[in-house]
Amino acid sequence: MVRSPLTHLTRSIPRKSLFKKTPYTHIPSSKRNLNVIRYAPAEYPKGRKKQHEVEWTLIPRTEHFIQWENLTTKYIDTHTHLHSTLQQMKDAFNDGTMPASRIDSFVEHFFPEQCTAVVDVLGNMEDLALYSAAAGLAWREGFKYYFAIGAHPYHALVYDDSTHHAVTKILEHQQCVALGECGLDYFRTDSITWPKQRQVFIRQLEAAVFARKPILVYTRDAERDTFSILHDYVPTDHKLHIQSFTGSREFALKILKHWPNSTLGITGAITYSGSQHVAEMIEREEIPLDRIMLGSKSPFIVPKNIYPHLLKTTRPKLKREKFVAGHSGMLPIVAEAVAGLLNNALKKGGDRANNDDYLHKMDSILKSSNEVAKSFFGIKM
């Protein structure tokens, strides 16, 4: 494959950072105040003023179980972090009834029966034993557990030869369906880490191509380098997925065109104003439905429209309350949002707008995502 003149491993792009000149360090949920929602006033540039704090009440632990009485479709959550989700809830509620490693118990208690499969994304290189423990758990009847393994950009600095060898061995596991999420993050990391990120990204891409495993890509504020590296190291017929896509229109169209087997991940972020441009792309069908996979990206995203759903169902007096974490049980809300966007386009089209047979519904969007996921990962439900 022809290499571009770009020297990926040594090039450094000048950048004025608002962050300290140190590598990004993840703050565990146990050290955060989960009872506080932080926001920055719109008139203040990001990071320039001290953020205000607003006290919210946590929705009770038992009510994190979301019921979908009228949903008939079984579905796959293609992007979740089960251990992080469980740990975040344990930290918030100080609940010792479920050990942190028993994610099967978490699924049993909090996932609706319609959720019958997940792809658990394991990107923490400090605990590579998680996959073997999870694969051997007693999952509820009919539930399929799959996982992906790879070094998130935040863990690039600890990725060495021994880690790489371990990852390549784990790729051989029968329940490992992809490598990832791997990629580049120029938003929360200092530029001194970028050459190492690019190096680790390339090593993982080469391993995935050799093993013929689908690749889950994470990219933030690094689209140019991400595309360039993918272009040089990933064949056009390889399966490629951009996780939790919130990037630019140009980047999305280039990915979809260059890799015919590529897909984009749509999460609860689609319900927030910051992803309005992605919503518009879906509405205009620039992102075809057969190139979309739905994922919860739990625990990091709680779909905004889950709260109106609760107002209609279990909590009619909901006020100043919030979920501790998102989880796979909220994925139908994302499907509902996508259906609404596609129906907006139909309504603008005329004749079919008043015919329910042509309108998209939550079930039809979940079915479409299921078919894309089964083909992409080679999995069964």
In this predicted structure, the answer to whether residue 338 has a pLDDT above a threshold of 70 is yes
- Among 48-62, 111-125, 253-267, name the most confident range: 253-267
Give the pLDDT confidence score for residue 349 in this predicted structure.
Answer: 65
Q: Is-contact 304 268, C-beta < 8 A?
A: yes
| Average pLDDT for 182-201 | 94
Give the pLDDT confidence score for residue 298 in this predicted structure.
Answer: 95
In this predicted structure, the answer to whether residue 205 has a pLDDT above a threshold of 90 is yes
Instruction: Tell me which of 55 and 207 has the higher pLDDT.
Output: 207
In this predicted structure, the answer to whether residue 203 has a pLDDT above a threshold of 50 is yes
H/E stretch holding 362 reads helix 362-377
What does the pLDDT look like over 216-240, one tens digit per residue? Answer: 999 999 999 999 999 999 999 999 9
Give the pLDDT confidence score for residue 10 in this predicted structure.
Answer: 38
Give the pLDDT confidence score for residue 64 in this predicted structure.
Answer: 83
Instruction: Tell me which of 6 and 194 has the higher pLDDT.
Output: 194
pTM of the model as a whole: 0.83
What does the pLDDT look like over 38-51, one tens digit per residue? Answer: 323 333 234 433 44
The C-alpha atoms of residue 35 and residue 42 are separated, in whole angstroms, by: 22
Q: Is-contact 364 292, C-beta < 8 A?
A: no
Give the pLDDT confidence score for residue 54 in this predicted structure.
Answer: 52
H/E stretch holding 334 reads helix 331-349
Share of the chain above pLDDT 90, in %: 58
Q: Is-contact 65 106, C-beta < 8 A?
A: no
Among 4-13, 133-142, 154-163, name the one with the lowest average pLDDT: 4-13
- Show the domains of the chain with their CATH numbers: 74-377 (3.20.20.140)
Give the pLDDT confidence score for residue 264 in this predicted structure.
Answer: 98
The single residue listed with the structure tokens 């049993």 is: 108
Give the pLDDT confidence score for residue 313 in this predicted structure.
Answer: 65
In this predicted structure, the answer to whether residue 28 has a pLDDT above a threshold of 60 is no
Give the pLDDT confidence score for residue 48 in this predicted structure.
Answer: 38
Residues 6 or more apart whose CB falls under 8 angstroms from that of 380 comprise: 144, 374
| Average pLDDT for 172-192 | 93
C-alpha separations of 90 from 37, 61, 106, 110 in Å: 18, 9, 11, 13
The C-alpha atoms of residue 215 and residue 239 are separated, in whole angstroms, by: 6
The C-alpha atoms of residue 306 and residue 63 are separated, in whole angstroms, by: 12
| Average pLDDT for 176-198 | 93
Q: Is-contact 348 51, C-beta < 8 A?
A: no
Give the pLDDT confidence score for residue 41 in this predicted structure.
Answer: 31
Per the prediction, the chain carries an average pLDDT of 82
The single residue listed with the structure tokens 């620039």 is: 286
| Average pLDDT for 70-88 | 93
The single residue listed with the structure tokens 């995203």 is: 301
DSSP 3-state helix, strand, coil percentages of the chain (rounded to 5)?
Answer: 40, 15, 40
Q: Is-contact 127 147, C-beta < 8 A?
A: no
Give the pLDDT confidence score for residue 127 in this predicted structure.
Answer: 72
In this predicted structure, the answer to whether residue 71 has a pLDDT above a threshold of 80 is yes
Structure tokens at 350: 């005329």
In this predicted structure, the answer to whether residue 381 has a pLDDT above a threshold of 80 is no
